[in-house]
Structure 1
């Protein structure tokens, strides 16, 4: 009796191996994107005045909002691309649709987690006694990603579903 590998049969069912591939690829891509987001995170800038007050530099007031928009846009694009890739090249079915959405949901949360870690690592620590008039202080506003955390999985689900609705039965047979 030979093992599955030696007999030419798949040792792991295709749906399981494809699901694992979706998870790994999603995690890697969202990790890289989250690190870049944390590195390029928009900041508000303040000028230290002669009386040791702070004056906001024009054009930097909405940095938290810009950070949220970048987060939402990047994760939605990544969710869309993940769904298109999974639908076109991997096993197809309702289970895969739900799995892709779950992986993108995890990836979106992971994106925020990694981005915040990078941001904390790179953020300068200011001491009130070491600032002088004319110095520029950069402050990153914390965002609440929760309103947008399910946006990317919804985009991924809709993309996968649209692909399924617009495909023929023959397309599904070739994917199995």
Structure 2
């Protein structure tokens, strides 16, 4: 598997993004849908990566800079044909490594509170994310779960402890 910066003009990426937005529309009311569209993903404070195996696009994920110390995970999506193969785990590991390299001290995310999103919430919790209050411009919403993870400074943590968080 290969992770690289996303080609936002790729037909495969656009199809994956449409799949992502369609799933959000089917599972959450419009006021509770926070997925970025292509214009949102093109903003200078957003960086998107894709995971590939050969010619197949397996999934994607993005980081959005909220401030110098805080980033948000956006657009985590596994292509339907590649569910339950470790795609999301691989992308999340990459996003956290990129966040650490960029010097962020905290990474947060918003995901749905409905049953459809339970696998995602379990994945995030397995990486140490904990539920938190709404952050940035989010507000209380019964359809949303907010989670956050403090990223320790690698210089202040034993290398084996940092590796165990990935």
TM-score, with length taken from structure 2: 0.30
Higher helix share: 1
Instruction: Indicate the structure (1 or 2) with the bigger Cα radius of gyration.
Output: 1
* TM-score normalised by the chain length of structure 1: 0.29
